[in-house]
A and B are shown apart, each in its own frame.
Chain A
Amino acid sequence: MHHRSLNCNYLDAMFLWIIKRDLLLAVRRRSDVLITLFFFVIVVSLFPLSVGPEMNLLRTMAPGVVWVAALLASMLSLNRMFSSDYQDGTLEQMLISPQSLPLLVLGKTLAHWLVTGLPLVLMSPVLGIQYDLPSDALFVLVISLLIGTPVLSLIGAIGAALTLGLRGGGVLVSLLVLPLYIPILIFGSGAVEANMAGVDFAAHLSLIGAFFFVSLVFAPWVTAWSLRVSLE
């Protein structure tokens, strides 16, 4: 078909357009991005303040606290992933775009991770210092978040798409998505704990990597399908 062959060259361009658009919107609405980041910073910082300067205790709880805070922060931003596009009719246009919808969804998910996930990853070593984490543990923490947070965005997109336009969607999305986040939480914080215990942490990271690839392949399709159902 004529336009099919045309589309092949075009797909990459469209993918970049949607990322560019979402990043531009994030720049115009900085507060949305900053809220997520500040939430993460504040939640992580509250624990050392409340527990007190008990170094051993802080070191033990650090991976868990940072990871839980990252999960909650990513939850906070999920609602906005499709809702503004839904309200102004742009999402309808995406659904009837001649471009492949899963690819558009992947572009939106990537943009979402760039504005909400990546800042958390970059901020985490600074926060880890509050917990007196050794430098190699900080390194593992950053790597585990770097592989893990994209999975949070990919899986979260499914929940956001399913609860689109529902009243109380914010709470519902948490109930839907948080159980799915548990494996990432276990292996993410597990990697850092393993490193601190002097055990090999590669297995944990490989498992998060496996989650990443599986969700990279399947999540955009499921999200696209959920969007079609939500907008019908």
Chain B
Amino acid sequence: MLSIGYNRKLLSYPFIPIVLQGIKVACVRGDRELFKDINFSLGTGGLLQVRGPNGSGKTSLLRMMCGLSLPASGEICWDGVSIGTLNEEYFARTTYIGHLGGVKDDLTVTENLHISSAMSGSEISIDVANKALNTIGLGGREHLPVKVLSQGQRRRVALARLLVCNTTLWILDEPFVALDVAAVQLLREILERHLQQDGMVVMTTHQEIDINASSITQLQLS
């Protein structure tokens, strides 16, 4: 087990403790090795941008960080403990929004937000839900089934979860895809606020979007 305590004396201030750390992580899909020996670390208030061409394993890496799949070798640690042993304790601190978003077509916008937040461990009141939906630009559409919404609006339904969750680590796979200019700006603000409040963000994106954060790390997959 890694101790981060002893680093504290060596490093000069301002000191950012490492919370999420990947050590020599490798990923194998079928017979093909997507990547190996990937190291990364992320501290409080930090943003980790995972970059790389299509098929370089960005989504696979993000799924490993969520605990959905295991690295072929290496380890991903949270506060020095492997996330594989933490399980539910780790899940309670993370929010993952993947390509699919986890939005149900047959449920209304409000129902979706309610149920997905309940499932991720925080039940919310009607007021909180409505406020979040207004902020994300879905005001007036709360009672529409998601299947009648556009691609960008569905994406907003998934992203609305970020406004109501109280997790530390956000893992976002291509969060800016399908969003219009206003929504991109809004999401940027949401991410910056989260980072200012000592949250952490891991995301993949192809767009050049500047996000103000105390520490930004780029991870390039080839």
Contact = CB atoms under 8 A, between A and B. Distances in A.
B98 A89 contact: yes
Interface string B42-76: 00000000000000000000000011111000000
A29 B19 CA distance: 44
Contact of B119 (A24, A29, A93): A93
A93 B89 contact: no
Contact of B102 (A7, A25, A89): A89
Contact of B68 (A10, A24, A96, A100): A96
Interface stretch (B8-16, B104-112, B187-195): B104-112
Interface in B119-156: 119-121, 123, 145
**Which of under 10, 10 to 19, 20 to 34, or 35 or more describes the interface residues of A?**
20 to 34
Interface string A1-42: 101100100100110011001001100110000000000000
Contact of A25 (B70, B104, B119, B120): B104
A93 B96 contact: yes
Given A88-B101, A97-B120, A99-B119, A232 B92 contact: no
A132 interface: no
Interface string B65-97: 011111000000000000000001101101010
Contact of B118 (A1, A14, A232): A14
Contacts of B70: 232
Contacts of A97: 91, 119-121
B91 A3 contact: no
Given A96-B91, A98-B120, A25 B107 contact: yes
Contacts of B120: 93, 97-98
A72 interface: no
Contact of A92 (B89, B100, B104, B123): B100
Contacts of B121: 3, 10, 97-99
A94 B96 CA distance: 11
Contacts of B102: 88-90, 92-93
B116 interface: yes
Contacts of A197: none
Nearest to B88: A98
Contacts of A100: 88
Interface string A55-97: 0000000000000000000000000000010011110111111
A41 B123 CA distance: 41
Given A3-B92, A96-B67, A232-B68, A88 B105 contact: yes
B101 A24 contact: no
B206 interface: no
Nearest to B92: A98
B179 interface: no
B106 A90 contact: no
B185 to A, nearest CB: 25
B113 interface: no
A98 B106 CA distance: 25
26 contacts: A4-B89, A13-B118, A13-B123, A14-B118, A17-B118, A17-B123, A24-B111, A28-B106, A28-B107, A87-B100, A88-B101, A88-B102, A88-B103, A89-B100, A90-B102, A90-B104, A92-B96, A92-B98, A93-B116, A96-B66, A96-B67, A96-B91, A98-B88, A98-B89, A98-B91, A232-B69
Minimum-distance CB pairs A-B, first 8: A89-B100, A98-B92, A89-B102, A28-B106, A98-B121, A93-B102, A232-B69, A98-B91
